[in-house]
Chains A and B, each alone.
Chain A
Amino acid sequence: MVGPTASLSILQRADGSATYKCPATGYTILSAVNGPVELPGRRDALKPEDATVEVFVKPGTTTGGVGERAIETTLKSVLGDIVLGREKGFPRRGVVLTLNIVGGENVERGDSYLTLLPALLHAGLLAMISASIPLSMTLSAVLLGVTDSGEIVQNPSPAAAKSAVSLHVLAISSKDHLLLNQSRGRFDFDTWELIRARALSICQGAANDGDVAMGEGTNTASVNGFIRETAEDQIYSAYAHKLDSI
């Protein structure tokens, strides 16, 4: 299977940006982060000691609606939790993330954004890395579908996702925490356990039994390894001038 592709810092004006392309589902997401930026006083009343993370999802060929607002809330809570908003220069400031869906099929009005969620999370995270926003950890997410026969499919295509009995999105941090669990459809606890174990092995590249023995090694087969590698490439090119002088 062809893995996802991503490139960092492609835009000129935004502080950080990334494109993320998932060939299995066909979506291309372009993301941009600006931060820390001044926010008008009305918004930071809730947590004055913390940075405010704002997320805006812009669909490719429609105007944003309820579906976009709903997914923005989810993204905001997941990504907002890993941003170190109390670092110097961040309190009372905003980190504004814009996610633009520039390729792939449209999500039908009123339909859920579950199939897009992993791509959006990855694109948002990579843009934050590109903008050097302080993060407590990275994350990786995966979309899993359960077919009629009880088989678990990784990254089902839009057609396969439509016919799946249940769909699950799990986001797992680089420290093996379960950060997000969203599901749709009918399933039982046993299925969910299988899903969780599978998601852990896909994200962290561990054995199938869920027993994680990840060291500092870079397992490129895992989603986490992919995020790491992309960030590594970015750092390598950013510090190329230093490497030459060594």
Chain B
Amino acid sequence: MSKEAQLSVAERDFILEALRQDVRLDGRKPDEYRPLDISFGEEYGHVNLQLGKTHVIVRISAEVTKPRDDRPFDGLFNINMELTNMGSPAWESGRSNDLEAAVTHTLDRVIRHSNALDTESLCILKGVSCWSIRADVHVLDYDGNLTDAACIATMAGLQHFRRPDAVVRNGQVIVYGVEQRVPVALNITHKPLSVTFHTYNDSKHIILDATLKEEQAAEGDLVIGINNAGDLCYVSKIQGAPVDAMAIVTKTSVAWEKVKTLNATMDKVLQADLAKRAKVGMADESRATNDREVQPE
């Protein structure tokens, strides 16, 4: 299938020369994210995230299944991402590409392998049944930095999601519907996020949250996964030009600051949404009046 449109030589030179003068195409500072917009859908765990022009939707779902034989106490957690023709015309629906593999790997490492979601809390009955949590990342628009966008959306989704309550009675697993019992939040142990940097001009210039054009002009990338407490859970320097060791150290502290801000933003949106839901739920139950058309004037 067709490739992403190549950057012209002039465009590349322009980006590089601008960076030499500490200017980015959209006027951002080197360590600045594009405007981030997080909103939630009607159902729990439905996150709509826009980072600049990059747009992703994450849906979290839960299902009761049998745990794996070698881990009878653990529930299952999977992150799925499939790039379709919707996100970019260069992607072929139903076929994986390098970007998909790279982003899925980073998400897996940062969120799943760092145990952000406590899988032991998903166990219902040892060796018999457990919850299987699934995160589906849908990419609607791709304009660079898919990793961070998907990572923020998935973490927001996990914190927003409520699974149905399940109890074991006389060896029988009973799953209560959302109407019968208040659904339960997932057990999040810590909140790691990935922060992606790109390097230019022999790694003299390192910028955060590159757009697609900036990504294409970059000579190398650096992904740092870190949580609020400053625990580093993932560092990747897979490809491209080498980066100075000191740069990695300084950028790690930048990443830490960014993760703190991002998590604060996420918390604010989450609290606002939950407060809204609580109000609607309570009001619906307690009121006895019928809907009335409010007459203007």
Contact = CB atoms under 8 A, between A and B. Distances in A.
Interface stretch (B77-85, B105-113, B117-125, B216-224): B77-85
Interface string B146-178: 000000000000000000000000000000000
A60 interface: yes
Contact of A13 (B93, B138, B143): B143
Interface residues of B, number: 29
Interface stretch (B39-47, B234-242, B264-272, B289-297): B39-47
B87 A102 contact: no
B1 A60 contact: no
A231 interface: no
Interface string B119-149: 0000000000000001010101111000000
B198 interface: no
B59 A61 contact: yes
B55 A11 contact: yes
Contacts of B143: 12-13
Nearest to B82: A58
A15 B59 CA distance: 25
Q: What does DSSP make chain B's interface, helix, strand, loop or mixed?
A: loop
B145 to A, nearest CB: 14
Contacts of B43: 103
Interface in A6-47: 11-15, 17, 30, 32, 34, 37-40
A17 B53 CA distance: 15
Contacts of A98: 84-86, 93
Interface in B30-56: 41-43, 46, 53, 55
A96 interface: yes
A56 B42 CA distance: 25
Nearest to B92: A96
- Tell which of A13, A30, A54, A96 has the most Cβ of chain B within 10 Å: A13
A46 B59 CA distance: 38
B57 A102 contact: yes
A220 interface: no
Contact of B42 (A13, A62, A103): A103
Interface of A: 11-15, 17, 30, 32, 34, 37-40, 54, 56, 58, 60-64, 96, 98, 100, 102-103, 106
14 contacts: A11-B55, A12-B53, A14-B86, A34-B89, A58-B93, A60-B61, A60-B138, A62-B136, A63-B82, A96-B93, A98-B93, A100-B86, A102-B138, A103-B46
A-B pairs, top 9 by smallest CB distance, nearest first, are A56-B93, A61-B61, A32-B86, A98-B86, A34-B89, A98-B84, A96-B85, A12-B141, A98-B85
Given A38-B2, A58-B138, A61-B136, 15 more contacts: A11-B141, A15-B89, A30-B57, A30-B86, A30-B138, A32-B85, A34-B89, A56-B84, A56-B85, A58-B84, A61-B59, A61-B60, A61-B61, A98-B84, A102-B59
